[in-house]
């Protein structure tokens, strides 16, 4: 698995996407879990697309 570094500020990115910072973190955690083949998290279903 490739390791990514995030240079973009989470707060600013969340604002740009018009979502909460916690929602963005949930999405990123779910993306990492998906790459590992782990089951979906219920937390990501609470965040709007």
Mean pLDDT on 18-43: 85
Q: Which residues contact 14 (CB under 8 A, 6 or more apart)?
A: 20, 21, 23, 24
**H or E, element range at 21:** helix 21-36
pLDDT attached to residue 13? 86
pLDDT for 3 equals 60
What's the number of CA atoms in the CB half-sphere (13 Å) around residue 6? 9
pLDDT per residue as tens digits for the range 2-14:
565 666 677 888 8
């Amino acid at each position: 698995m490739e390791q990514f570094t995030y240079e973009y500020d989470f707060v600013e990115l969340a604002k740009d996407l018009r979502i909460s910072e916690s929602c963005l973190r949930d999405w990123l955690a779910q993306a990492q879990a998906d790459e590992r083949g782990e089951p979906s998290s219920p937390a990501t279903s609470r965040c709007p697309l």
